[in-house]
Amino acid sequence: MGTSNSRKFEPPRLKNAEINEFSRQSLFSPQLIERLYGHYYRIASSQNDDGVIDLNEFCLIIHKNPNRSFILEGIFNLFDANRDGVINFREFLQGLSIFNKIDSLGNNIEHSPMITAAKTKEQIDFSIRLLDLSRRRKIYISDIQRHLVSAVKENPSLRLNDKAIEAIVERTFDDEDYEKDENGKYLTCESYTKMVLRKPIIFKWLAADMERMMQDSSKKPPKRSKSRCLSV
pLDDT in tens, the chain (232 residues): 444 444 555 667 889 999 999 988 887 889 889 989 988 988 898 888 788 999 999 888 777 666 677 888 888 999 999 999 999 999 999 988 887 665 545 555 454 555 567 778 888 898 898 888 888 899 998 888 888 777 777 666 667 777 887 787 777 777 788 899 999 989 999 998 988 888 776 666 666 666 666 555 544 444 444 434 445 5
Q: What is the maximum alpha-carbon separation in the chain?
A: 73
Structural domain span for residue 122: 16-214
| Number of compact structural domains in the chain | 1
SS (H, E, C) the chain: CCCCCCCCCCCCCCCHHHHHHHHHHHCCCHHHHHHHHHHHHHHHCCCCCCCCECHHHHHHHHHCCCCCCHHHHHHHHHHCCCCCCCECHHHHHHHHHCCCCECCCCCEHHHCHHHHHHHHHHHHHHHHHHHCCCCCCEEEHHHHHHHHHHHHHHCCCCCCCHHHHHHHHHHHHHCCCCEEECCEEEEEHHHHHHHHHHCHHHHHHHHHHHHHHHCCCCCCCCCCCCCCCCCC
Please give the pLDDT value at position 204: 65
Question: What CA–CA distance (Å, rounded) separates 139 from 125?
Answer: 12
CATH code: domain of residue 207 = 1.10.238.10
Calculate the CA dihedral of residues 121, 123, 127, 132 and round it to 10 degrees: 30
**Residue 62: what residue type?**
I
Is there a domain that residue 4 lies in? no
186, 39 contact by CB (below 8 A): no
Please give the pLDDT value at position 174: 76
Beta bridge pairs of residue 188: 138
Is there a domain that residue 231 lies in? no
Q: Radius of gyration over alpha carbons of the chain, in Å?
A: 20
Is there a domain that residue 72 lies in? yes
Is there a domain that residue 232 lies in? no
Is there a domain that residue 220 lies in? no
Is there a domain that residue 199 lies in? yes
Please give the pLDDT value at position 113: 55
Is there a domain that residue 43 lies in? yes
Is there a domain that residue 191 lies in? yes
> Which residues lie below 8 Å from residue 21, measured CB to CB, with a gap of 6+?
none
